[in-house]
Amino acid sequence: MDLKDALKGQYGAGLAMLRQCIERCPDDAWGAGEHPRTFWRIAYHTLFYTHFYMMPSHTEFTPWARHQPQGVILWDDDEDGMPPEETTYSPQDLLEYLSQIEQNVGRWVDALDLGAAESGFPWYRIPKLDHQLVNIRHLGIHVGQLQELLYARGVDLNWVGKRVPA
């Protein structure tokens, strides 16, 4: 199997799992949670950084057309620097963004130089392939976080066979 095809498949599977979390989130859970880690912010954070770090470098990133910087969470921000909690995006908004990412995964992964010694992000001093694995791991961590929030509300998810072909 080609390494790029494997990455495309893993991104596809992770995004399919994220899609199911967003689609199955009850309305009353969407804005629930303790600021700044509400369900919608975790979902947007996950989409934004999956998209961002799939680029060859930080200089080649173009945000989603509807991006609003206050929607992105940097987990190490202090509370004073966080914007007030407001539901900036609806589930439909984030599903639209997710679809845009899904439609471009193949093209974006194909554009990567997986043999590059640098990630393209100066704050990540690791090779490009390692950086892509970090990005997939980040996607999975937050999908798991959203899954637990849903399970706590009695919402079950079915992820059997979610690997998406490249």
To the nearest 10 degrees (0 to 180), the angle between helices 39-53 and 91-110 is 20
d(CA 162, CA 18): 11
* pLDDT, tens only, 9-29: 999 999 999 999 999 999 999
Domains of the chain: 3-152 (1.20.120)
**pLDDT the model gives residue 131:** 97
Burial class (CB in 10 A: 0-12, 13-18, 19+), 141: exposed
Mean pLDDT of 96-121: 97
* pLDDT, tens only, 48-71: 999 999 999 999 999 998 887 665
Mean pLDDT of 96-117: 97
**pLDDT the model gives residue 69:** 67
**pLDDT the model gives residue 160:** 61
Q: Which two tokens stand for residue 89?
A: 């995006």
What would you report as the CA-atom Rg of the chain, rounded to the nearest whole angstrom? 16
Nearest alpha carbon to residue 31 among 94, 73, 86: 86
